[in-house]
Chains A and B, each alone.
Chain A
Amino acid sequence: MTQPLIVTRDLAKEYRMESYTVAALRGVSLEIGSGEFVAVMGPSGSGKSTCLNILGCLDTPTSGSYIFKGLEVGKLTRRQRALLRRHYLGFVFQGFNLLNRTTALENVELPLIYRRTAASERHMRTRRALEMVGLKGWESHTPGELSGGQQQRVAIARAIVSDPAVLFADEPTGNLDRARGHEIMELLTVLNRDQGITIVMVTHEHNIAAFAKRTVHFLDGLVESDTQNGGAI
């Protein structure tokens, strides 16, 4: 059997303050395979966001190991991690995090510009990604002209335009109403099912987590439970 896409062993993260140390993660061991759809749950301060940042190669663990695609991420330089994110990872945030006063098209093609994809292919893939999230015809609109749900769709298009190995989503429905949130979750489910994109999503809402195939519960920097959902809707 080949090694899973993501393997962590005793992952720990400490934040040193002036007079005390906060342990955000205290030994997390996880394995996530290609094609999975994992919801990470837990109360505030349970370490789920810290874990997502480390898995997303935005941060490095204090101790323990994180192996992504066979690479020991903790030993990579800042530049190497940036290249890893560029080529294999996609991000969706709670606050959408789109460039303001920039059209949907230009937002979505940003990762391809950093990848130095040729202009013609870049445009083709950008349009295809926007079409995939249901925003065909909205290419030239700026975030200010789009609704919250549409903005999050642009963010998802940006995350998937470069065909990432893993899509990380941090509270993707947190800023949306229930109906919009469900639409976004249906979109993610389709992307996972039809495109085979691995998704790791942090949420604190049970009905959102229910869309995932697997739920990992965090508590006080440790994995409390790890269950298969038996398929989403």
Chain B
Amino acid sequence: MLGNTMLLALRAIRRNVLRSVLTILGIVIGVAAVIIMVTVGGGATVQVQQQIASMGSNLLMVSPGKRLGPGQSSGNIPFKQADAEAIAREISSVAAVAPVSSTSINAIFGNQNWSTQVTGSDNQYFRVTNRSIRSGRQFTDSELRSGAAVCIIGETVRKKLFGGQDSVGEKIRLQKLSCEIIGLLEGKGQSTMGMDQDDIVVLPLSAYHRRIAGNQDVALIQVSVQKGASTDKALQDIERLMRERRHLTPSDDNNFHVMDLKEIANMLTGTTQMLTALLSAVAAVSLLVGGIGIMNIMLVSVTERTREIGIRLAIGALEREVLMQFLVEAVALSSLGGLIGIVLALITSVWLTGLLGVPFVFNAGIVILAFLFSAAVGVIFGYFPAMKAAGLDPIEALRHE
């Protein structure tokens, strides 16, 4: 029975290829949109997680002010290098502590100049941020103590200022400071926030303070916790220590903020996932519109094919068989639309994730769901036209022009 109905339905679809293609276009686009949104969104979430993992999952950021974010340091008491030293000294679960201050400056070499992030810190900075030196060397202790005019640069800065040339040993100018390049950092790519992590020049903190900033402030202390130690415990210890050092009474709120990187990770993945869900919902609406498109065409088709239905009824088709034929036609069309949509979505997703630099994550769940939904659209929106077709009076239908 089903075999025969399939035969009749497929023949009917084949008879009008163009109309069939136009009918399923809505479903194709709807299914493709949903899958692309979910796939690219999923890829972005995975990318955020990967980047955070690459920064080190046991990273704490201690910053003045209540919360890390834009305008963080305005009106707040900044840290000093001694604060970072205190954390390293007093808290046992800490693996490395890096005091960090940075600002944006034009770096100049020859006739090239490039606006970059100039950061003052020490060798701990490379440990905390999971970075290694590709060529050259780290700072020496005496360079760090005396604030020597030496720097380690990131790949982007090298490329912009030196092109294909080797840069170690050359001197670049930062404001009035002429600074010898002693090392080149291994490339790291974009950060979670979309910033280029290779667009950086690192100076000894004392050199930064004296020659660039003109003060002794430390904007941020980055702390990495020992493997296996509790970051929560370390976070509490640092808070207690900093409250003590900043002479806060028990009734005072913290005038600094210790942030666990996991917090940022959760926030960012949360945001990405919400955006994905939102975009997918919009895409799902287009799937619904596609379904209405199928119903529309099927209804027109019933009117247009009234005579055909009359012929079928006259030669002995049962109501149920006509109903099934139209229903199977609708479901076959919408499922085909779903399949084409899936293929289209996967191709587009691979292309789009490549373009956006996010990993392609195949989500079998959404593919199956989209296919089942497209088939369901066929059943739901095909039923009414099919009922209409099956209920026709054969004599009236045969007389229809």
Cβ-based interface call for A53 (8 A): yes
Chain B contact residues (Cβ within 8 angstroms of A): what range? 20 to 34
Of chain A, the residue at the smallest CB distance from B14 is: A101
Interface string of A77-88 (1 = CB under 8 A from B): 011001111110
CA distance A111 to B314 in the complex (A): 10
Q: Measured between C-beta atoms, what is the minimum distance from B2 to chain A in Å? A: 11
Contact of A110 among B310, B315, B319, B398 (CB under 8 A): B315
Residues of chain B lying within 8 A (CB to CB) of residue A110: 312, 315
- Chain A residue with minimal CB distance to B315? A111
Contact yes or no, A102 B11, CB < 8 A: yes
Cβ–Cβ < 8 Å partners of B7 in chain A: 113
- Indicate whether A101 sits within 8 Å of B398 (C-beta atoms), given known contacts A79-B318, A91-B315: no
Contacting B316 at CB < 8 Å: which of A87, A98, A99? Answer: A87
> Is the CB–CB distance between A106 and B311 below 8 Å?
no
By the criterion CB–CB under 8 Å, are B15 and A102 in contact?
yes
User: What total count of A-B pairs have CB within 8 Å?
Assistant: 61
Contact A101–B315 (Cβ < 8 Å): no
Q: Please report the C-alpha to C-alpha distance between residue A86 and residue B316 in the assembled complex, in whole angstroms.
A: 4
**Chain A residues, Cβ within 8 Å of B312:** 110, 114
Contact indicator B316/A83 (Cβ below 8 Å): yes
Which residue among A53, A83, A99 has the maximum number of chain B CB atoms within 10 Å of its CB?
A99
B346 CB, min distance to chain A CBs, angstroms: 33
A89 and B313 CA atoms in complex are apart in Å by 12
Q: Is B307 part of the binding interface, using a Cβ–Cβ cutoff of 8 Å?
A: yes
Complexed CA–CA distance, A79 and B1 (Å): 16
- Alpha-carbon separation in the docked complex, A106 to B312 (Å): 13
B16 CB within 8 Å of chain A: yes
In the assembled complex, the CB of B391 is this many whole angstroms from the nearest CB of chain A, namely: 10
Q: For the complex, is A59 an interface residue (Cβ under 8 Å from B)?
A: yes
Contact across chains for A86 and B314 when beta carbons are under 8 A apart = no
| A89 vs B316: C-alpha distance when bound (angstroms) | 9
How far apart are the CA atoms of A99 and B15 in the complex, in Å?
Answer: 10
A86-B319 CB under 8 A given contacts A58-B394, A58-B395, A116-B4: no
Q: Is B300 part of the binding interface, using a Cβ–Cβ cutoff of 8 Å?
A: no
Question: Please, which residues of chain B bring their CB within 8 A of the CB of A79?
Answer: 318-319
**A97 interfacial by beta-carbon distance below 8 Å:** yes
Taking the complex as formed, is B308 at the interface, i.e. its CB lies under 8 A from any CB of chain A? yes
Q: Is the CB of B313 within 8 A of A82?
A: yes
B297 at the interface (CB under 8 A from A): no
Which residues A146-194 have CB closer than 8 A to chain B? Answer: 158
CB of A115 closer than 8 Å to a CB of B: yes
6 closest cross-chain pairs (CB), A and B = A86-B316, A101-B15, A85-B316, A111-B315, A97-B311, A82-B318
